Structure formats: C-alpha cells, structure tokens
Structure 1
Amino acid sequence: MAPAATCTAPVAPTGELAPWSSPSALNAAGDAAGLRAANLPVAQAARVTLLSTPEVKYPLRPEKPGGSVSYGGLVGVEIAQAGTYRVALSSGAWIDLVKQGKAATSVAHGHGPDCTGVRKMVDFALTPGRYTLQLGANGDAQITVLVARLP
C-alpha cells in the first residue's frame, strides 16, 4: 500500500467530484418521517450535520450502526436515471443506500483523490427511485457527502 500523500494545500477535485468544493448545509433526519426536509440532490455536495447514534431510527439496521458516542443520520436521494452512482464521504463512516426496505449492493470501494478531503468513495448500480442514504458510525457530528452519477 502506498503511503498517504503529504498535502501542503487542499486540491479541488475535478470531473463528477467537482461539486465537492462548494457544499451546502444540510441537517440529517433522525427517522423516515424527517426525510422530507433532508434531501440531497445528485451532483450537489452537502456538509451534513448528524445526530447522536441513539437518536437515529434507521429504516434498515446498518451492518455497522456505531455506538453511543458516534453520529449518524438519514438523507433522502432521488435517482432519476439508471446508472452507476458514487457516494463520496469526508470520513470513513458506514453507509447504506436503502430502497423499499432493501440495501443496494456496492459495486466498488475506494479512496478519494489525494488532498481533496474525499476520504471514502462507494459505487452503486442504481435504478430510478427514492433512496435513503443511511450514515452511521461517524466519529464527528459533521460529514461532507456527495452523490454523483458516473459517466
């Protein structure tokens, strides 16, 4: 494994990750009823404020929900076109994309480009519809998130 790059200054990501550099503010929902106010459009980054894990009622129990000192939350994502979508995160939080009670299966995992602030990327092959992005086991109350369609 290659050593991590030494960053002297942040680097703006390009391509489908370009929106990462200008996140909007978003409060995560604590349950399914709160998802109406916690929507993340595709191709728009958000700095998401999470809840203490015990306050979150996940629609589908995450494989790694986190403990009482971690943070999590729910964010709604509307997928209009079938394709491969990348979820980029600023931390190593656990994620699930849930639709109609079932978690989507990831097709790839990776790290973001060096010095961009993107720590983790997970790709999913998605069909159109409404998904719940479950965020769990995060060590901080905030996380930057971007859902982007891959070319």
Structure 2
Amino acid sequence: MNFAMAAKPSGCAAFKWPVDRERALLSAADPTELASGAELPAPPATAIALSLRPGADAALPTPPERASAPDRFAGFVRIRQVEKAGLYTIALASGGWVDAVQNGHLLKPAEFSGATDCEGLRKLVRYRLAAGDLTLQFSGVGANAIRFAIVPAD
C-alpha cells in the first residue's frame, strides 16, 4: 500500500483552508438570482445564482485571463462598492474561471484551491481587493448558470 496516496486528503478536506462557511452559503436555498450584466450596490451576504450566456455572446467588459472553449458559458456582475480593502474569497459551486477586475485591470489571484469531490463546492479563488468598484467575470462554465459567493477571507 502506498502510504503517501492514503494520506492525501480528499473531498472537502482537499481544499487548502476550511470551507464550511463557503459551502453553507452555496448550499442555502435562497440565492440572489441575477442575469449576466447585473449590478449590485455591495457584495451580498448570500450566494448568487448568475445566469450566463454563450461565451461568444457574453460581452465581458474585459477579455478574460483564460480563453475558453466556444461551447462554454460566460457572464459578469458589477459590484459598485467593496466597502473595505482586503483579501476576499470567491467560491464557485461548479467548474469555471472567475476574473476580478478593478480600475479596468484584471487582478492576479492571491491564492486558489479546488476539489472535484466536495459536494456543493468546486473552487475557491482569493483576490486582494481595493475598496471601490469590482467586476467579477465568469468564463469557461459548462452550464448556463453558476452559483458563487464572495466573502472576506479569514
């Protein structure tokens, strides 16, 4: 038996940091439902179910960092005011990519973590955000909607 393989975490334990808060948000029954291009005054305290468009029709404000296959979906949401600068976690319930855009520039992720076998949570991406306007762009998604949450990192 290979003990290195046996000791490797799986499921939700495979993430680099605890994910209970993000999983609870993403699995809640009442997400905020939005269409791509919607605008919010501030990051919501609930998960968001964002309807997406075919990638070629998504009209993302900024070209995404990663190109995606033509049969994938994309979309975006604007958040008018991130109140406090700091490290934020974007949690995705399914596969895809998220770009954070501030002042017209793509931000580089500070950290990311993923697991394919954690029910209700697929990926976490952390960005260091400035206070002010934020656009979150989603691309490379295999379905016409994605559920996500944005929370300050602990």
TM-score range, shorter chain: 0.7 to 0.9
Q: Report if the CA contact (8 A) 1:17-1:148 is conserved.
A: no
Structure 2 length-normalised TM: 0.77
Q: Which residue of 2 aligns with 1:32?
A: none
Following superposition, the deviation at residue 56 of structure 1 comes to 1.4
Deviation at 1:16, TM superposition (A): 5.5
Change (3 A) 1:17 1:39: farther
Per the alignment, do residues 3 and 112 of structure 1 end up closer, same or farther by CA in structure 2, a change over 3 Å counting?
A: closer
Aligned to 1:150: 153
Partner of 1:61: 63
Letter of the 2:73 counterpart: Y
Supply the distance in 2 between the matched residues of 1:90 and 1:16 (Cα, whole angstroms).
9
Larger radius of gyration: 2
Percentage identity across aligned positions? 29
Amino acid at match of 1:25: E
Q: 5 Å matches for 1:23-42?
A: 23-29=31-37, 35-36=38-39, 41-42=43-44
Q: CA deviation at 1:130?
A: 0.9
Distance 1:98 1:28, change over 3 A: same
Q: Kindly tell me: are residues 43 and 65 of structure 1, through their superposed partners in 2, closer, same or farther at Cα, counting changes over 3 Å? A: farther
Offset of residue 67 of structure 1: 2.9
In 2, the alpha carbon distance for the partners of 1:114 and 1:84 equals 26
Kindly provide the CA deviation profile for residues 55-99 of structure 1, in whole angstroms up to 9, marking residues without a partner as x. Answer: 112222112242321100011123110111000001221111111
Per-residue CA deviations over 1:92-149 (Å, capped at 9, x if unaligned) read 2111111111011211111269644110000011110111101001111111110011
Does residue 81 (structure 1) correspond to residue 84 (structure 2)? The answer is: yes
Please list every run of 5 or more consecutive structure 1 residues that lacks an aligned counterpart in the other structure. 7-12, 30-34
Q: CA separation in 2, counterparts of 1:112 and 1:40?
A: 28
| Runs of 5+ consecutive residues of structure 2 not aligned to the other structure | 13-18
Structure 1 residue 17: Cα displacement: 5.0
Q: How many equivalent pairs are there?
A: 139
* The 10-residue stretch of structure 1 (19-28 or 133-142) with the greater mean CA deviation from structure 2: 19-28
RMSD of aligned residue pairs (Cα, Å): 2.6
